[in-house]
Amino acid sequence: MIVYYDICAILIISLVLLSCLLKKMYHGRTNGLFYLLLFMMMASSVSDFFGAYIQNQGVTGEVSRTTEYMWQYIYFGTHNLILPVYLPFIFSNIGMWHEFVRNKLLKRLWIAGMVVNAVVLLSNVAYPWVFYVTENAEYQRRSGIIIFYIIAVSYMIYEIGILHKFRAIIKRDKLIVMVLLFPISALGIGIQAVLPNHLIEMFMISIALLLFSLIIRREEELLDPVTGARKYSAAHEHVKKVLSTGIPTNILLIKFVNYMNIRMYLGQEQLNDFLKEQSEILRQLARQSSVGDELYYLDDGLFALISETGDYDSMRLYAQKIRDHFLDKIMHKNFSVLADVRLCILGCPEDIDNYNTLYTFCSSFHMILPETKEVMHYPDYVNERDFKIKSQLDDIIDRAIKSRSFEMYYQPIYSITEKRFVAAEAFVRMRDEVYGMISPGLFITAAEISGAIHTIGDFILDDVCRFISMNDFIGLGLECIEVNMSTSQCIEMNLVEKVERLLKKYKLNPSMLSLEITESAVDFDPDVVDQNINRLSDIGVRFSLDDYGTGYSNVRRVTTLPVEIVKLDKTFVDGIDDPQMCIMVQETIKMLKQMGKKVLVEGVEEEKVVQKFTDLGADYIQGCEYLQGYYFCRPLPERSFIEFMQKQVQR
């Protein structure tokens, strides 16, 4: 008999096995079934080789006959298990394991086929009707072997049917290769039936396995090289399959909220080691909790574990173990890391039944849900007003833009030296037809992310200019209205032309418009920002620097920009009673005054604060010129603001 085919089969299977081990394909049910499939094929090929080798040597005697029987029993025992093992592997590989687990009839038939094969093979010991080894150690096949082929064909037909049934959720290349196993195997069986001395069957099956490994088992393309968890693309495919088939699935989202801080603390190399270490712990805890280990890394410190077990309680216990793990500081090499982790469990398709909604929630759940270290459950929050607003902000903003549901509010600014209100700051408010008034703290950030801030910013500038041009505004004694500018607006290439067009449209003196910029906006794109600010300043538009002291204060940038007023953040006010803080405030004001800037203190809510800053005076070396806050007046809608200011003027 020609045994070279078996030798080639053994080499191919060994290479596939080595490749899997080098790629560290250790974890998961699918990998386990694939290794089992490799084992059955290797055992079949080895036993087929040694059985043929004994016959080729022409050795006779009872020992040779017994050895031949042993190899043939091993061959049929393992060979008959290849297709039965391939069946659950198919279900696991295409993500339909739950179908295999829950279909009792399928499992009974699956087991029945293996039992029949085993009974037939064992009966051959007493009555050799499947195969026989003569006294000269010659191997002969007999009529009973047809039962093995009938059962094998039954498995093939059913497995092809499964692949056809779920073809819509299987990638085309994967489907083709998984189906190819059957005709290639059938071809090998056919050739060996016609040419019995050519042991080509296992070689043909190993070729199919090699194609399968090259095209389907490209595990390195699915794994994140840093964490060892599966990539975002793999999660995308898994979720699409879950939503298209309706498989009851639990998803646990694990977000490192302080990911950027950990990165700065550890550095990129140590961060990678830390994430890999934590990823392995997450998988270990998952296996201990019987929720599987389908862990995905979605970038920026966000992990997701997707479990199709349908056991919500097990997922909850798993989440609690993770919470307990991250409650205290974690020692990583010589670093002590405090990870601020948010956890949320949701069900698909029960809680969320479409991909876009799920994607949006996954990327922002740590901002949408309350800040807590406890495990959060999507159903507990889904009906709360704040959650609905936060999860639908993009749609709410679009609705507001289309219906122009924005309204301007104004808060007066008090001059210490003139003892009256000399300006006002404009604030935008959004009123939704479903949820009513929406906080700017919510929709402004969302609008900056989505890009809608440009449209909202255009509305604000237009409406403020309209307000300044009204006859009612003239008698209020205000020098200007301040308008907050987002970072996105500051780098608009047509900002200057836009402002000039509005000033011309409403026939305004440019000095009546004051634009507020922040430190982050100033440093975002210095060249564009500088050009916009300087050009607008040249035509007479005023500028103030907002929220000074909340971030990295680039003093050099402050001195080079035509900023007239610097606004100190509320944090300066909150600590004014502290003698050390008071010294810092005075020194900060003194520094800004020496630069030729005027100073405005925001967040003034108490009379003692007003008195404190008033007592400092407002000369050229100390004290601030302006105060703003709830102590004087809350932001008011346009008509209410006019009425308030008219009363102030009449005093």
Q: Is residue 627 part of a domain?
A: yes
The three-state secondary structure class of 439 is coil
Last residue of a domain, one of 196, 220, 244: 220
pTM exceeds 0.75 for this model = no
- Whether residue 221 has pLDDT greater than 70: no
What is the rounded CA–CA span in Å between residue 559 and residue 506?
A: 32
Lowest mean pLDDT segment, chosen from 212-226, 393-407, 471-485? 212-226
User: 167 and 273: one domain?
Assistant: no
Last residue of a domain, one of 220, 237, 255: 220
Q: Is residue 400 part of a domain?
A: no
User: 370 and 420: one domain?
Assistant: no
User: 212 and 228: one domain?
Assistant: no
Q: Sign of the C-alpha dihedral, residues 342, 345, 348, 352?
A: negative
- The CATH number linked to 235 is 3.30.70.270
- Kindly list the distances between the CA atom of residue 492 and the CA atoms of 448, 524, 533, 560, 596, in Å, as whole numbers in the listed order: 13, 12, 11, 21, 28
User: 201 and 238: one domain?
Assistant: no
As a whole-number percent, the residues of the chain with pLDDT over 90 amount to: 30
- The CATH number linked to 540 is 3.20.20.450
Nearest CA among 421, 403, 416, 508 for reference residue 462:
508
At 475 the pLDDT is 87
Write the pLDDT tens digit of every residue in 45-98.
999 888 887 777 766 667 788 888 898 899 999 999 999 999 998 888 777 777
Phi, psi of 335 (to 5 degrees): -110, 145
Q: Residue 137 region, left (φ>0) first, then alpha (ψ -120 to 50), else beta?
A: left
CB 591 within 8 A of CB 583: no
Q: Is residue 287 part of a domain?
A: yes
Write the pLDDT tens digit of every residue in 567-610.
887 777 777 777 777 788 888 888 888 888 899 988 888 888 88
- The CATH number linked to 108 is 1.20.1070
Burial label for 612, CB within 10 Å (0-12, 13-18, 19+), is middle
CB 235 within 8 A of CB 307: no
Preceding omega of 349 cis (within 30 degrees of 0): yes
What is the rounded CA–CA span in Å between residue 49 and residue 199?
A: 8
At 84 the pLDDT is 93
User: 458 and 597: one domain?
Assistant: yes
Neighbours of 339 (CB within 10 A): 20
Q: Is residue 408 part of a domain?
A: no
Q: Which residues of 512-539 are buried (b: 16+ CB within 10 A; e: fewer)?
A: bbbbbbbbebbeeeeeebeebbeebbee
Write the pLDDT tens digit of every residue in 519-532.
766 666 677 888 89
Q: Is residue 431 part of a domain?
A: no
At 591 the pLDDT is 84
Mean pLDDT, all residues of the chain: 85
Q: How many helices (H) and strands (E) does the chain have?
A: 28, 19
Q: Is residue 129 part of a domain?
A: yes
At 632 the pLDDT is 93
At 363 the pLDDT is 82
User: 203 and 346: one domain?
Assistant: no
What is the rounded CA–CA span in Å between residue 430 and residue 418?
A: 34
Give the confidence band of 234 by pLDDT, cuts at 50, 70, 90: confident
User: 192 and 250: one domain?
Assistant: no
**Structural domains of the chain, count:** 3
What is the rounded CA–CA span in Å between residue 72 and residue 66?
A: 10
- Whether residue 626 has pLDDT greater than 70: yes
Q: Is residue 441 part of a domain?
A: no
- Indicate the residue type of 609: V
Q: Which domain holds residue 235?
A: 223-391
